[in-house]
Amino acid sequence: MISIEAQLAVFLDNRPGALARICQALAREGINILALSISDTVDHAVVRMVVSDSKKASKILDGLHVTVQERDVVFMEVPNKPGLLAQIAQKLAAAGINIEYAYCTASASQEFGNLVLRTNNIEETINALS
């Protein structure tokens, strides 16, 4: 499965409880977090997330007075096997597509995992990987 999904980038103060606050607000409204990545800087954290309802989540987060940016990403369910990311990266390189960032997850016991890719050309990424 490969699709284009909206990813929210949420900018939070880098302090205890900031993530809990936004996650609790999303949970109260029945929004599921499907993928998550957090990068920190000196004074803030960038929380990238793919959620079950990005429009509703954006409104909730706006109500919490946090900065939110929405960008399209490629969301893929992929087999959990050695070398798969290398194959994907090679296909994209051969197509001249740059991976700006990626995050993924799977446990050792899972047959499949999820991969989120942000590239310089989302549509061409879909074509190269389909």
Give bridge partners of residue 8 from the DSSP assignment.
Answer: 49, 70
Q: What is the DSSP letter of 3?
A: E
Average the pLDDT over 19-40 and give the result.
Answer: 96
The topology under which CATH files domain 73-129 is: Alpha-Beta Plaits (3.30.70)
Q: What are the boundaries of each domain within the chain?
A: 7-70, 73-129
Task: Count the Cβ atoms, other than its own, within 10 Å of residue 36.
Answer: 15
- CATH superfamily, region 7-70: VC0802-like (3.30.2130.10)
Residue 119 has pLDDT above 90, yes or no: yes
**What does the pLDDT read at residue 33?**
96
Question: 92, 76 in Cβ contact below 8 A?
Answer: no
- The bridge status of strand 33-40 relative to strand 99-105 is unpaired
Predicted TM-score of the model (pTM):
0.88
Query: What are the tens digits of pLDDT across the range 33-75?
Result: 999 999 988 888 999 999 999 999 999 999 999 999 999 999 9
Amino acid at 50: V
Residue 30 has pLDDT above 90, yes or no: yes
